[in-house]
Chain A
Amino acid sequence: MTDMFPLLLLLPLLGCLFVLFAKKNDNNSFHVVLFTLLSNLAIIVRLLTQIHRDNNDLQSFHFSYPWLESKGIELAMEANLFSLLVLLGIYVAFIIAVVGLLPQQRKNKSQMLLGLYFIWNITGLLCSNDMVSFYIFFAGMLIPLFLLIGLYGNIKKNSTLYLFFAFNYAGILCLLTAMLFVYKYHQGNVELQDIALIKMPVGSAMVVWTSVCMAFISRIPIWPFHYWISSINSGLRSSLVCVMTNMLPLTGLYGFLRFWQITIPKGILPFVPVVEIFGIMTMLFIALIGLSHKDFLQKLFSYNTVYYLLFLLTTIMLPEGYIINIAYSLITFLIINASLTVLDLWAENSCEENNCDYRGILAYMPRLAIIFAFFVLVAVGLPLSAMFWNNFVLISAFFRVSFTHGLLMMTAIAIISMALLYELFIMRDTSNKNPILEIEDISDKKVTFFVAVIIFLFMSFFNPLWFAF
């Protein structure tokens, strides 16, 4: 079964090749992407089952590629329970995003190609176990994302697009700095968990860990780095690109999780309280901004930010034991995020097609309304998915560490939850008496698909690994 693990990385690349040579203006590329995603999802589930079943014997899958032996660089890949769980969430989210594409968007070959390339990178990132491969995949994500945002982001200001690139590029260079410093002191590639063990001078350690932090923080919309991501988010109208953008902070978060697996490095210990304070202040600030915005996608962005920061602070502040809770919570979070994005874009598209007001749109689309409401309620934290119980554990642990921090974080979560709920009511509100009465609701196929997603989430409320037999 271990043999299946390399397939996880190979399939998206093969998919890219197929998409590259697929016909233009046809659904072929869409089908290739969907097939690739489903195949990889099946592999992930199979691997998870394997780990789940042999809980005591098998902890992870490995393979390595001797890349540059003279420089001591061997690319080591590893998939453990945590990375597989997050990958599961990512793949389900991507499947939702791909299914959510509008018919004309499905024929867009470049979008499919870049999307799949991004997926390959993020899969690689989550499976990489050494510094070099981690860096390669971490940096590789920028290209498809930048191109897709430029192509479909409706960004009017030239500087915004460049700043997005520059922020990310600076982040990449920071990680490169850290990598090269580690390489300097270790004389070769090093596994991620061993980085903290490398002996280096205090100044160098400071450079390494500060660079690592800066690299990951550049991906997480923590103040003042939140600006680039919020500035590019507003114009996105493709579900795939939206989901990709929303997933970028995940890479930063995952970086923290991998690098601080054991303990916070001494080099940056004094800065941790600063990150905590900034994180919490950003949570509050973004939650308030989310409340004040009128666009649902903006609210969703605020929601994402608040939750990503929650997970980040969990990583920083809580002991290692809670990592699996983060994983379970993340799966649901990613799926909710993708689902709400897709559903909102469908609703907006219906508004555009029927030339009607966004307010109250759900009142005319009852099927969409029910599905939408479910996901909003799950997002708010209702006991409908694994997120509820795992968030309870995480927040409870937070209070153990710091009462004030916990309280402020919960305030932010409460504000953003209320904002989402309020938006749901707005979308169901018919007081403005929309003149149109007949709006085509979502199709049976789409309903079936989302019912399956809902069942997946709801079952996770009882057992997050219910599918791993």
Chain B
Amino acid sequence: MLESIIYLSPLIVLLSSIFILMFSEHNEEEHYRCFRFSKFMMLTAFALTVIFYNKPLIEEVTLGNKYTLLFECMMYGGGLALLYLSRKWFASMGVSGYTFCGGIFVALLFGSLLIRSNNLLLSVVCCVFMMMGNYALLKGSSVKKEIKSEKIYMFAMVFCILLLGVSLFILYHYNDSFAYEQIKETLSINTGDVWLFTAVAAVLTVFMFMLGLAPVHFWFTETLGGTVLPVFAYFVMVPIGACWGGFIRFNTEAVGSFAENFYLFYKAIALISISLGALGACSVQNVRKILAYGTVYHWGIVLLVMQSFSINAVNTGVIYILVYLLAMYGICVCLFGLKIKGEYLFMLNEFEGAAYKRPYISAMMTIFIFSLLGIPPFLGFFGVFSALSYLAKHDSFYQFGYIMLMLIVLSYAYVQIIKNLYFEKSKENFDRADSGIYTAVFIIALLMIIIMLKPQYLMQDVYRMIESLFL
């Protein structure tokens, strides 16, 4: 009993943090207290997660291993970075950070559970709570009211909950159990069953929705373009790990050989995501939207690579996700470092001439953008190298060529950001960035350099962690 409680400690820490934040006095002037507290609690939860990574949080329905640790690290890393960066934003805006911190804790709590879950019911509950947490964050943070991002999200969320309900109903009807193992068995017997297909498709659609894959990407690109910077950073940094972790696990442990029915679906979704991501990024002037569309493109590649969910496919996909996340962390840090008269920047023209005023931040942002494009010697090269070499190895030549073509199209959008940073004359005075931004940039750059020099940390050690999923 005591053992179980100890193993559950990360969740207890997270849960207690949520309650404390919920019921504490929302003092806007003492915002730093809530961030200090959140950082402390998150670090504690992270440490406990690492220590008890291979222990079950809840017997029967969760299972921890190196694979789950990897994705949890992604989430906690993103969460910690976000807390570190966004404190200044709340301070400068005079907005209470309690809801925001609480939202992060919700995401971490249910995200961790989602990653470790081997039970569909638990996964669905986690997904629902995560979506609700996201909605809460969006509701309180939408800057551009005309977009009405939280409404779009709410409608979509309700639709997703309905889909999940249907899925649970069908699967329970066939199984009498929500365990992944049981579901896998049932699916392997009834490979051609249309109802089962519908149920699995419903769950997969929700995961895709949460990831922002096309054609259910609307909320992702629209809301991210209109939210405040901390929430934007939250969406591209924190839930990603949980969603991908849960998605991969569901596919490998629950869907299994039934996934053959979805090969074409995955391929089509991936290609649509790639196309819409690249074209969408080119069609907008809002930098956050560009990055959001870019994310859709990159997730398209990840899905294309992972469609078979074999160990090599997952390994390649995860390498790509990690590389993307590191570059995105960097970009978010840079976005936090660039502001004019206390206002963070949205549109491309607001970035004009930033390189003349904030050369180091602009340079790092440029490097991260080039990294996203996969240009060596930056880290993004490994992502592109892994993904494309995997496709080439499996004779997926057309997809290979298509990714390249769309990468060139996407480069237009990224080049626009660089162009505005460097090649336009500065009209505004950019605010001084605090040392924390420089420290964060330095840490990310150092991390990138270390991985560039010793890529086995990324290419070999990640494989060992992924391996545990297939044992």
Q: How far is the CA of A130 from the CA of B460 in the complex (A)?
A: 22
A-B contact count (CB 8 A): 77
Q: Which positions 417-445 of chain B face chain A at CB distance < 8 Å?
A: 418-419, 422-423
- Residue of B375, B393, B423 near A140 (CB, 8 A) is B375
Whether the pair A139, B375 counts as a contact (CB closer than 8 A) is: yes
A342 to B393 alpha-carbon distance, docked (Å):
49
The 0/1 profile, CB within 8 Å of B marked 1, for residues 47-86 of chain A is 0000000000000000000011111000000000000000
B407-A173 in contact (CB<8A): yes
By the criterion CB–CB under 8 Å, are A136 and B408 in contact?
Answer: no
A157-184 vs B, Cβ < 8 Å mask (1 yes, 0 no): 0100110011001101100110011011
**Could you say which residues of chain A place their CB within 8 Å of the CB of B96?**
none
* Given pairs A150-B422, A181-B392, 12 additional interface contacts (CB within 8 A): A70-B463, A136-B381, A139-B375, A139-B376, A143-B370, A151-B423, A162-B415, A169-B411, A180-B385, A180-B392, A183-B389, A184-B389
Task: Give 26 CB contacts A-B under 8 Å.
Answer: A67-B455, A70-B460, A110-B355, A135-B376, A136-B376, A140-B377, A143-B366, A143-B370, A143-B375, A150-B422, A151-B422, A158-B419, A161-B419, A161-B423, A162-B412, A162-B415, A166-B412, A169-B408, A170-B408, A172-B375, A176-B404, A177-B400, A180-B385, A180-B388, A180-B392, A184-B389
Contact of B408 among A150, A161, A173, A177 (CB under 8 A): A173
Judge whether A70 and B459 touch: CB under 8 Å.
Answer: yes
Complex formed: what's the CA distance from A222 to B402 in Å? 26
Q: Is the interface of B mostly helix, strand, loop or mixed?
A: helix
B373 to chain A: closest residue by CB:
A169
Q: Are B419 and A147 in contact (CB under 8 A)?
A: no
Q: Tell me if A442 counts as interface (CB < 8 A to partner B).
A: no
**A68 touching B456 in the complex, CB below 8 Å, given contacts A135-B376, A136-B381, A161-B419:** yes
Chain B residues, Cβ within 8 Å of A177: 388, 392, 400, 404
Least distance between B418 CB and chain A CB atoms (Å):
8
Q: Does B259 contact A (CB under 8 A)?
A: no
- In Å, the complex CA distance between A180 and B391 comes to 9
Q: Which residues of A have CB within 8 Å of B355? A: 110
CB contact between B415 and one of A70, A71, A165, A172 (< 8 Å): that residue: A165
A183 proximity list for chain B (CB < 8 A) = 389, 392
Chain B residues near A (Cβ < 8 Å): 355, 359, 366, 370, 373, 375-377, 381, 384-385, 388-389, 392-393, 397, 400, 404, 407-408, 411-412, 415, 418-419, 422-423, 455-456, 459-460, 463
The 7 residue pairs across chains A and B that have the minimum distance between CB atoms = A136-B376, A150-B423, A180-B392, A70-B460, A173-B404, A180-B389, A184-B392
Is A142 close to B, CB under 8 A?
yes
Q: Contacts A150-B422, A151-B422, A184-B393 hold; do A71 and B376 have CB atoms under 8 A apart?
A: no
Contact B411 A165 (CB under 8 A): yes
Closest to B453 in A: A67
Residue ID in chain B nearest A147 by CB atoms = B422
Contact A68 B423 (CB under 8 A): no
A71 to B386, CA, bound (A): 10
Contacts of A170 in B (CB 8 A): 408
Distance, CA A180 to CA B389, complexed state (A)? 5
Q: Are B423 and A176 in contact (CB under 8 A)?
A: no
- Interface of A (DSSP majority class): helix
B382's closest neighbor in chain A, by CB? A68
Residues of B within 8 A of A207 (CB): 397
A90 CB to nearest B CB, Å: 20
A136's closest neighbor in chain B, by CB?
A: B376
CA distance A171 to B231 in the complex (A): 38
CB-nearest residue of chain B to A150: B423
Question: Which residues of chain A come closer than 8 Å to B359, judged between CB atoms?
Answer: 110
Known: A136-B376, A176-B388, A177-B400. A68 touches B459 (CB 8 A): yes
A135–B384 Cα gap in the complex (Å)?
A: 13
Cβ 8 A contact of B411, one of A135, A140, A147, A166: A166
**CB nearest neighbor in B for A121:** B377
Which chain A residues lie closer than 8 Å to B392 at the CB level? 177, 180-181, 183-184
What distance in Å separates the Cβ of B384 from its nearest Cβ neighbour in chain A? 7
**Highest count of chain B CB atoms <10 Å: which of A135, A173, A177:** A173
Residues of chain B contacted by A68 (CB below 8 angstroms) = 455-456, 459
CB proximity of B407 to chain A, nearest CB, Å: 7
List of A residues within 8 angstroms of B388 by Cβ: 176-177, 180
A183 to B312, CA, bound (A): 16
Contact yes or no, A136 B419, CB < 8 A: no
What's the Cα separation between A147 and B359 when bound, in Å? 13
Alpha-carbon distance between A68 and B381 when the two chains are bound, in angstroms:
13
Bound-state CA distance A69–B461 (Å) is: 12
Q: Report A-chain residues with C-beta under 8 Å of the C-beta of B419.
A: 150, 158, 161-162
Q: Which residues 179-206 of A have a CB within 8 angstroms of B? A: 180-181, 183-184
CB of B297 to closest CB in A, whole Å: 15
In the docked arrangement, what's the CA distance between A166 and B282, Å? Answer: 14
The complex places the Cα of A9 from the Cα of B385 at a distance, in Å, of 24
Distance in angstroms from B405 CB to nearest chain A CB is 9
Taking CB atoms, residues of chain B closer than 8 Å to A172 are 375
Q: Determine how close the nearest CB of chain A comes to the CB of B394; give it in whole angstroms.
A: 9
Contacts of B463 in A (CB 8 A): 70
B426 to chain A, nearest CB (A): 13
Least distance between B209 CB and chain A CB atoms (Å): 31
Would B408 and A166 count as touching, CB distance under 8 A?
yes
Please, how many angstroms separate the alpha-carbon atoms of A413 and B389 in the complex? 43
Assess the A176–B459 pair: CB atoms within 8 A. Answer: no
Report the Cα distance A147→B389, complex, angstroms.
29
Q: B355: nearest residue on chain A (CB-CB)?
A: A110
Q: Give the residues in chain B near A169, CB-CB below 8 Å.
A: 373, 375, 407-408, 411
Chain B residue nearest in CB terms to A143: B370
| Alpha-carbon gap, A87 to B397, bound state (A) | 37
A69 surroundings in chain B (CB, below 8 A): 456
Closest to B460 in A: A70
Partner of B366, one of A67, A70, A135, A147: A147
Chain B residues within 8 Å of A158, by CB: 419
Bound Cα distance from A161 to B418, whole angstroms: 11
B423: chain A residues at CB < 8 Å are 150-151, 161
> Would you give the shortest CB distance from B379 to chain A, in whole angstroms?
12
Q: Which residues of A contact B397 (CB under 8 A)?
A: 207
Tell me the smallest distance from the CB of B279 to a CB of chain A, in Å.
15
Q: With the chains together, A73 CA to B408 CA distance in Å? A: 27
Taken residue by residue from 119 to 156, chain A's Cβ proximity to chain B (1 for < 8 Å, 0 otherwise) reads as 00000000000000001100110110001001100000
Within 202-227 of A, Cβ neighbours of B (below 8 Å) are at 207
Query: How far apart are A176's CB and chain B's nearest CB, in angstroms?
Result: 7
A211–B373 CA distance with the chains assembled, in angstroms: 19
